[in-house]
Chain A
Amino acid sequence: MASDDTLPDDRRQMMESINRFLQDSVPHNHELGLRVEDLGVAEATMRLPYAEKLVGNPETGVLHGGAVTTLIDAACGISVFMKMARMARIATLDLRIDYLHPAAPGKDLLARAECYKLTRAVAFVRALAHHGDPANPVASAQGTFIIVED
């Protein structure tokens, strides 16, 4: 029987196992230092540490959109795992990202993703990227994933 005090333990265990999975099986996320920051029922928050190598405009120090895409894609994928309550083989079908304002140079970026609908074949996700205040997002995203039969 699930009680309130067992949930944080479950969540911490889940975070540890997902972080271990990212480190062992997703070399590019590991290379970027992506980590799970928080997990919810159908939600995942991931952190991308700021790094000079990820800069897209050397005049401003602003992160390249590709790094933001990688962060959002990763958070969205893990939100699908949370919605499914297990890890499965999934693949991104499409991802749209709106850049609401440039990421601040030198600051870590967080992405909070929510899988708001899951069918047998497809997962629908949305996400916001921000510097710590979700009310002031840097980017907004929407995507779909295919659930690969396993």
Chain B
Amino acid sequence: MDTPPSPSLRIANILRQVRLTGEYPLLAEAIPYARFLGIGVENTTGEVLCRMRYAPMLIGNSSIPALHGGTLGGLLESAAIFELLLRTQTDRVPKIISITVDFLRSGRPQDTLAKATITRLGRRVANLQVQAWQEDRSRPIASANALFLVS
């Protein structure tokens, strides 16, 4: 008798495929919130980066205009999650323990890039540092430290 595949199997399958083939866009497409914000995972420069494509609904302050801080927080956290999914052998989405976001400059109405770095990967906890920038990588607009439970 046919039983539908369990959801965890589907995420595990997507991860296996992405790790095997490098089809990074599949990863972000599997996460509804990433799709909603327009976040994609790309590897156009030999480095895996997250990109949040600009859309007017990301604006938090119409008069400047500037991106909503919450969308930058969402991008930073997403970049950390994707980094963990790609760098470890986990087959489920890691659970966030805490995140501290520093807002460094206002986000202009344009694409934003993000890169997460795992600073420590323990048996149970992973620590990550994440940067987000727009045109100039040396002038980040937001950064974060995040902790995740990985088992």
State A24–B60 Cα separation when bound (angstroms). Answer: 11
Which of A6-57 touch B at CB < 8 Å? Answer: 24-31, 52-57
User: A64 interface residue, CB < 8 Å from B?
Assistant: yes
State A27–B30 Cα separation when bound (angstroms). Answer: 25
- Which of A59, A73, A96, A98 interacts with B69 by CB under 8 Å? A73
What distance in Å separates the Cβ of B106 from its nearest Cβ neighbour in chain A?
Answer: 7
* Shortest Cβ distance from B73 into A: residue: A69
* Shortest Cβ distance from A90 into B: residue: B61
Interface size on A, residues (CB 8 A): 36
| 29 A–B pairs (Cβ distance < 8 Å), ordered by A | A25-B61, A26-B62, A27-B57, A28-B60, A29-B60, A30-B57, A31-B57, A53-B33, A53-B36, A54-B33, A54-B36, A56-B32, A57-B93, A58-B30, A64-B74, A65-B99, A69-B69, A69-B74, A69-B77, A70-B69, A73-B68, A91-B69, A91-B106, A95-B103, A96-B100, A96-B101, A97-B98, A98-B97, A99-B98
A56-B33, A69-B70 provided; 20 other pairs, C-beta below 8 A?
A: A25-B61, A26-B59, A26-B61, A54-B32, A54-B36, A56-B81, A57-B93, A58-B31, A64-B77, A65-B73, A66-B74, A69-B77, A70-B70, A70-B73, A71-B70, A73-B70, A91-B103, A91-B106, A94-B101, A98-B97
Residues of chain A whose beta carbon lies under 8 Å from any beta carbon of chain B? 24-31, 52-59, 63-67, 69-71, 73-74, 91-99, 102
